[in-house]
Amino acid sequence: MTGAAAQRMPSLFLSHGAPTLAEDADWPGELARWGAELPRPTAVLMVSAHWEEAPLALGATTTVPLIYDFWGFPEHYYGVRYAAPGAPALAEKVRKLLRGPGMPVQDLPERGLDHGAYVPLREMYPDADVPVLQMSLPTLEPRRLLDIGRKLAPLRDEGVLIVGSGHFTHNLRAINPGNQVPAVLAEFDEWGERALAAGDVDALLDFAHKAPGARLAHPREEHFVPLAVALGTAADDPRAQRSVIEGTWLGLSKRSVQFG
């Protein structure tokens, strides 16, 4: 990854869906179009809600088997493959950018991509020809994750696509096969849309106290806080964003945002 001729990349927060996303009528096409519209990345740095590990860890530095971190699905979902190249050079750059007091970085090269990473990537880059590195969430504290994003921001100038992968609303008890959206989740989504448009980083980081129905939209924070990493990478102008994917899936917001 030389970066000499690389095009500056935006950074993303995307709602990644479940393994069944591939069978949805609309969402795979929305992700595929998004991937086609983006500049070609030199590599992808993926921060998934499904990997909490402290100290901060880097996984899949080489191509290793996927992690099927879900239960009770039809058997064919456990046969999905996504053999993206590893990104050891990117891993070394991440280590250098994050190195410092209070920020140890560990390597877990045997840890494969989880479904928060490979489910959307299979739609965006179906040929699995873009190197991918996955980074853990070392904390769920949004301001610490924002700081990590700020430190990683220079990678955008080297053509690296930084992706926070979560879900804009994520309450599994609210899932509805008819895609009926509880009013409180709709209010949270609308609040988030306004906060993003205004570049109100403080409100987004303090969503647990500022957003309507925050604890119903997110009984646990792990699917919202990857947004803090993406916000950190866009600290120069958080208002330079747009929602690329909107709407709902099984009653949950699939809002996905591009910064830059």
Q: Where are the domains of the chain?
A: 11-259
pLDDT reported for residue 83: 97
**DSSP characters over 160-171:** EEEEEEE-SS--
Who's near 254: CB < 8 A, 6+ residues apart?
15, 17, 27, 167, 168, 245, 246, 247, 248
The CA R_g of the chain, rounded to the nearest whole Å, is: 17
Nearest-CA neighbor of 161 among 27, 18, 44, 61? 44
Q: What is the pLDDT of residue 1?
A: 46
Q: Tell which residue, 200, 190, 208, has the closest CA to residue 247.
A: 190
Q: Can you say whether the dihedral through the CA atoms of 255, 9, 259, 62 is positive or negative? A: positive
CATH of domain 11-259: 3.40.830.10
Mean pLDDT in consecutive groups of 10 residues from the start of the chain, 260 residues: 71 94 91 98 98 96 94 94 96 93 90 97 98 98 98 98 98 92 97 96 98 97 98 90 95 96
Q: What phi, psi does 97 have (nearest 5°)? A: -70, -35
Residue 149 bridge partners (DSSP): none
Predicted pLDDT of residue 5 = 66
Predicted pLDDT of residue 87: 95
Which amino acid is residue 160, in one-letter code? Answer: V
